[in-house]
Structure 1
Amino acid sequence: ENAASRKPHRYRPGTVALREIRRYQKSCELLIPAAPFVRVVREITYYFSNEVTRWTAEALTAIQEVNILCVAYASKEFTLV
């Protein structure tokens, strides 16, 4: 049997998912790209008030980090239920 006719290697179900979870837990990068997140924040702000038109970069970064922490907390709570 030659190498070209062999089936490609497949990992067992869940192996790749666990590897990705560990990789993302180790990394400190933001999982949501900044530009789409800023767009959503500005859209929500405009929906509630037309007066607020400017955000500092630090404020947007802080909101994004808190958002990720809230998602992580919610996912932990839902897995315990």
Structure 2
Amino acid sequence: MKITSTETLVKALRILAVDIESEDGATIAEGAERIDELAAIATEMADMISCDRPLLTEGCKACAIRNRLYDLGVMLLP
């Protein structure tokens, strides 16, 4: 399965939320907002704990977190 970037996912959810004229639409919009905020927080935290070693060093917790965020489409690797 191809991972969609978080930005694209949030945009799609916001469009869907507008199209659904019920409480479900409001719930989807709220979910999109939370995903967007959590992605921003995760990116900030990953930037704070980055290491000086080569990217994705085996056994490095900071590199492992950055790799997981990359796999989820939250952030790009440098």
Coarse TM-score class (shorter-chain normalised) = 0.3 to 0.5
TM-score when scaled to structure 1? 0.32
Largest Rg, 1 or 2: 1
Higher relative contact order (CA 8 A, sep 6+): 2
TM-score when scaled to structure 2? 0.33
